[in-house]
Amino acid sequence: MIKLFRLAGVRRCGKATILRLLVFACLLGYLQSEPVTACRYTVHEVGFVDLRIEQYHLFGYICDETNGDIVSAFKQISYAGLVNSNIKFEIINTDQQKDHPAMKLLDLQQAKSLPAAVLVSPDGQSLPVTVTESDRPFEETLRSAFEDILSSPKREEILKQVIETYGVVLLIEGPDDQENKKAKEAASDVIELISSQMDMLPKPITHPPVLVVMDLKSVKREKILLWSLGLDSEEVSEPHAAVIYGRARWIGPLFKGEEITEDNLANVLFVIGADCECGLDHRWLQGTMLPARWTDKMQAKVAENLGFDPENPMIKMEMSMIIRRGSYSYPGVPLGYQEIAIEPNSTMEIQQSVRTPQENPVRNSIMTDKMIQKAQISNGENSPNEVEETSNSRSDPVEQILEPAPLAEVSSPLRNAIFVLVGLCALVLVFGIAILARAKRR
């Protein structure tokens, strides 16, 4: 009788425990269904992750009559020369692949003097690359061309700075000294503004932004860098400014002339220090990278500075979900953006457009209340500045063939339901074992 009484008590206890577990599961499900208002990563940190969503493409063109040694050199030198870079190489036989979309990038003059090469940016513009010279061996010319594509003095300086700092304001000087001086003052002022608010960021960044200046003497040596920004090195007639961060990513538009103001630059720079769960278009979180080589030494330094390795597969998966959750256009973004449609086994079409805002919602949505108050005090304002209308100077897109890089995306409700069920099963199992063990002892 006593054993039956004790067993009944255990059963009553078990029912009560199960009831508590059900209540707990409901509460957990409610909490999981609430939107997450904070993210463990910032835009600055996400910028160091390479999800290979958008890469540069280098197409090498040959024909049936091309010497086999040249074809072999194309393959071997491209493999060695483009390692650890964000450029994907592909050989196209113009006689056998006449319907290849990249054939549209090859002009008539190049087609008559194969082998040839064309570099294509994720933003759509293309650039013929010289791979043959009459007085140089093909292998030597090809290696030199690859090195020019991946490296230049200013890009090396930018890479060094973005690893250690908040980001870089790249100022490309024009022929007018007064315009250059005005642009440089605006860039210096915005760097001072960001520096004064570094302690208010969601997560600390050790060093503030820095200014990198490209004078007219450097323009010709930076042809690839300027091309990746949508500029022709022969047509720099006024100052230009771009913001670069993370893994040498260009974020926002290319400001030119009178558009280079403290407010316009600040609107982009404040995005970098923001929480990544702010609903921005994914191009804000994964801006176009400059063509460059990213070495293991650089990656190790970034991991040391951030306190985690951005190349860790689990971190990359988490960040890919973050980017996908913010992959719609942010309302009222005051800068140029691109809508990207990706269809399996088809070409990627990039359509570029520009929005003209009526107010400045980006900076308002990103800055904390303290940052807004401090910025208003420093600028002598009672309300946030309105952004001047800007236009994105990136060139018209061209049709290109890019293999889609799908990212794992799990819907938030389904993920929450799975977490709840797994947690509930684990709790029921633990308590069930405990109850059975207790009943057995009695």
Domain extents for the chain?
2-34+411-441, 43-50+152-379, 56-150
pLDDT tier for residue 345 given thresholds of 50, 70 and 90: very low
pLDDT of residue 24: 54
In this prediction, residue 421 carries a pLDDT of 73
Within 10 angstroms of residue 103's Cβ, the number of other Cβ atoms is 15
**Tokens 């400014």 belong to residue:** 241
Is a pLDDT exceeding 50 seen at residue 420?
A: yes
Beta bridge partners of 300: none
What is the 3-class SS of 321-388, one letter each residue?
HHHHHCCCCCCCCCCCEEEEECCCCCCEEEEEECCCCCCCHHHHHHCCHHHHHHHHHHHCCCCCCCCC
**Structure confidence by residue, pLDDT tens digits, 365-398:** 334 433 434 344 344 444 333 333 333 444 433 4
**Which pLDDT does position 282 carry in this prediction?**
54
Question: For helices 177-196 and 369-379, what crossing angle results, to 10°?
Answer: 140
302-328 pLDDT, tens per residue? 999 999 898 888 888 887 777 665 443
**Which amino acid is present at 47?**
G
Domain at 56-150: CATH code: 3.40.30.10
**CA-to-CA distance for 396 and 394, rounded, in angstroms?**
7
Q: pTM for the whole thing?
A: 0.67
Residue 214's pLDDT is 96
CB contact at 8 A, 287 and 146: no
Q: DSSP readout, 250-270?
A: EEEEEEEGGG--HHHHHHHHH
